[in-house]
Structures are given as C-alpha cells and as structure tokens.
Structure 1
C-alpha cells in the first residue's frame, strides 16, 4: 500500500511553518496515542505514521527534500538518514520526535525550558527573620536602630564564585552545562537533574579554601534600620536583599524584621488608643478637683474630675494616643478613674468616717437603689 502524503497525515497544507507543523503533531500525538485508543486496533499504526511524518517535516533539510521529491527522497540510499518505521533508526527517530513534544508539554512542569536549556539558575539565598522588641515610647516616636544579624555573606576571597582566586566555574562534563540529563526509555525521554552538578550546570575544579566552594561564609552583619512611628506588635519591616547570600553568586534573600512592643507600666494600648488608670482619693472623687496625668510623649495634661465621680469613669484626651503608622493623625488617650478606699486609718479618721456615714444617708443614691431592689427581691421570694 502506498504511503500517505506526510502533510495529509498531519492535516496540513504544503508549505506549513515549523510552528504549524509542531502544533499539528501535538494534536495528532494526543489524539492517536495507543493508551487512549485501546478500542482502536489501527491507532498504533496511525500513531507511528504521524511520528514518521513529523520526523521528516520538522527537519529543515528533510522537509526540503520531501517537498521536492516526495517519498522517493527517502528510498534506497537517499533515505538512510531518515530511517523507516519499525527499524532501529526509525525507533530512535520516533523517540526524538516524541521528545520534542514531551519537552513542549511538560518542560515547564519539570523545570526545564526545552532543548535549549534546563540549567537551574544560581540558588537564591534564604529569607531571614529578626525579632525586635521596642518600648511603647519608641513605638510612639519611631527610632533609628543598629542591629547585628548573623547571616551568610558572599565570600570575599572568591567574590562569591566558590572557586579559588575568583576563577570562573567550568561547564559540567556530565550534562554539558545543561543542568539536566536525559535517558530514552521506549517511546519516552525522561529528564532528571544532573547528579554531578546538582542542576547548576557548572562545577568548580579548585574550590575556594575560605568558603569550601559554597561562595558564602557565616558572619554577623550590622544593619541600620528605621522603625517608623506608630508600629505595633506584629508589624513587619522588609529589607530587600539583606537576607542570606545566594549560592555561588546567586541573588540574596530578604530580611524580615518582626516587631514586638513591650508592655508599659502606665499605659495600655488598644490600636491607636491609650488607656491610663489613675487612682484618686475618696475625698477627691467626692469633692471634685484637678489632677495631672502623664502623656506618652513625656508631657503632662491637667484633667478636671467632676464632683461625685465613681470608679471606672473615663475622660478623653483627644490626640494624645498613638500616631497612625502611615500618617493620618493620632488616637486618643482615655483616663479611667479608680476611687481608692483609704487604709491604715487612725482612731480620729475612723471617728470622722463614722460621723460622716451617719450623716450621708441621702448621699449614696446607687447604694440606696440597689438595696431597695434587694429588699423587693427577697419579699417576692417569700411570697
């Protein structure tokens, strides 16, 4: 039986471009693969026919010969290099053809980039984390601080190359600089990371004595960082390129500074708001008056206590809280009164308080209301 025209086999017109040929073959390879056509006994022959057509048309010289002479170009002595389906050369050509499609379909997934590449880029350095604790005052005003970060830095003697004297690495002889090696297994070509160079595509014949060929050494590095005003616990600062140095000249990682604001003995923070609990004497709460309270900027503010103030009463100082991290004003400060009961009374003080208690029957409205409700509750329970 005469052979079908190779262009007809792939569903193409004569003069199709290499991209059109490859695209058509991909479609036919998927459509006719024997594993997907177990109910079609002709699929294997059709699959081989498509591979034979692609093997010829993908090659510029073979395609030119076929366009001029047709199938006769590969008969007798003229076709020895092209191979025939079923022969040893044909099987090798089929593996080569399918390898092209395998590269195109799975190259990105496997980390390669087709026949033209596959070598891994120099390994990027790891990102580093540094925990920094600041006071509430520092979080309020911001600060410039120098920190010491233990990290890997580029080796000075070899300039990060890993080779003695900074010499350039040489191409790996196992993978010829590709970073990957291939093995043909039947119809498939399997690609693996080169075991000699670990995918880098390069080897170092004479490793640097200072870093052992790694291109980096351990060292404490001093960094000056700017902590902006308004930071709070959990704020993260990123310093690009200040992380661990890359392997053999690879790009460095980043440094992430995680901030923690320490608790304060006077103020409690809630977002932009500050709370300050201020104790006042029983007499001051009853009579009213003025008190001075501290502010986070180190200053003082005078607050008027209304007469008859109870514990828990709050007063607001506008704009005396924490600043917003990226501008936009500041929060407020809340003063919470804590009426303090006197202790360690003298005999005279006790007598005065007993006298005061006897005269203050109508001065405790909350107590009067509460105990009136208690009395009603007990009476209802008896009923």
Structure 2
C-alpha cells in the first residue's frame, strides 16, 4: 500500500469517526447455522480449502539460515519446510521413504544430514537420499536414487511462506493473492523477527474463530477494559480482495490527525490492519508488531479448532526491557481471547445445537463477515 493509498484510508476513517459511521454492506447477510456444524460441509472444507489452497505456514524470518526447518502437522499430512544450503526453501512430506517414519519434529536447525530415528536412513537438506545403512540389502532390487523425500509445493513471497499440502499440486501464490500482494509487499515483512508462538485449542468451528477478528461492533460491550480503550468501536474501513479481505480499524487518537499536515500522517501507527489471507490466516499489522493467527480445524471434530498465534517484532529483542514489552503484548493478546472472545465463541458453538435458530445474522455494519462466508461458499462450489 503506497503512501497515497494510506492517506485515502486515513481519510475514510476520519470521516467515519466524525460522522459516526462505518463500512456498510448492501444488505443484511443470513448465514445458516449449518455452516458451523454440518459434517459434510466440514469434510468439503478440508478437501477443497485446506488441501488445495496455498496456506501460510511461517514468515521467512523463521527460516533464515541453511538447515533451518519447521514441521507442520495441522494441514492434513506431516509437512517439513527447510532452508537448503543454496538458500532456497523446499518442502517435503515429513516421511522417511524406508518405512514411513516421521523424520523431524518441531522446529530448529538440522545438521548437514537429516537422519531417520528408526533405521538411520539419511537425507540431504534438498531432500536427496544420502545414506542407507547396509545398502546392499536394498540396492539389488530398487533404485535408491529414486527414494528422496517427496516434495510438496512451497513458495516464499512477500516475507511469508506458503505451502499447498498436496503432493503434485501447484502453488501460484501471485495469482492467488491478487490485489492483496501489493499491501503485503509494502510492509517489508522480511525484516521482522519472530518473538513467540503459542497454540490454543478451542471448542469452536474454525470459521467462528476467524469471525472474531472481522468486526469491531462488539468492542464496547465485550472488550470494554481491554481493546475498546485502544480502538474505536464499530468503525472500520473494509475492502474485499478476491477471497481475501482487509479491515482497517482506527486507533484512539486518530481523530487528532486533522491538526497535522498529511505529510506527517502515519498509517501504521494510527491503525490496526486486519487481513484474512484466505482461508485461515488472520494477519494483523499493528502499530509496532505483526501478529498471525492461523486457524486449523480439528480434522475429527467440526466443533473444534487449533489456533496458532505468532508475534513478530521489527527489531531483534536484545534487552530485558524489550522482552518485558513484548511479553506484555503477547499476554494481552492471549488473555483477551481466552477470557473474553473465545468463551463467548464456545457458548455460541454449543448454542448452534439448541434449535433456537436456523441462521445467524450479519448486520450491514459487518461486511467482512458476509464477505468471508460468501468466499467459503464460493470455494466449495
């Protein structure tokens, strides 16, 4: 997003604050309760959204040096993403070609060879089979050179790492992002530093978790002492971006920009910019950090999900005072969702089975909700 567009967005928000309005949809959107509970739709979402589309699995800053790797088991298969000696990112099924053992766990930096914990078959960082103990017991009947790790499509773009968790699939991130690409490119995400990641498990359908971030209509009631003192309630500049979306929320004090020349207006400082990178990543550009909330369905339960929250900082954390600052930020994020948003969400999920309603209603002042759920439905056609 260039400076001229940032000024346009700030002008939109100033007008909304001064005239007590927000972005409005053309009409109310009625979403069937089955959207959150239907097992057949849930299975279709797994197949068509989480196995076919590019998913954000990390920021580039988490995989900087050769041998840096991470594993991801929430995408329907065990995946391994690793930085090669040539600096290129590659992804593989995290499966030894001998007997199918998981090769690596968690994240870290590998040695020059990736060694299977079961029988010590080893692989290079680019996935080639490097060594087989007692190879004579195999080589007479099979070509060991064909038993490298099975590749998965992965692309590094705009400081984010995108994976399609299906063998042989394509990963055209540029086409997939469309107009959202320019925004992401403008944030210089490559220069950020990973601070902390936490995993949260909630009794909520994955889409209900994403809904949490798509409007500020609830701030004045649910977050009166936490988020509401920071952000204006029921004020947001919404823009669709293909299946993705952007909501720009106004920080308290943004209304004072009228007293300053436009050349001094700081878009990032005065807003919280929330993107949904379809289908499951909520990317938040805050005043002094980046948050990602990656939301994964529990593959065995339509009513449950896992949320992976990561916080990234513009500078490395080198001092105790900086550590205390980022710890407070992370604690506020987690406390807010665990004590306020998610308890309400879990009650909503249980209430879907009460028979009290066959649909939920998104007001005209909640356009991002309507757009997100319409995008899900379109992707399932």
Task: Provide TM-score, normalisation by structure 1.
Answer: 0.18
**RCO comparison, higher one (Cα < 8 Å, 6+):** 2
Task: Provide TM-score, normalisation by structure 2.
Answer: 0.18
Structure (1 or 2) with the greater strand fraction: 2
Q: Could you say which structure has the larger radius of gyration?
A: 1
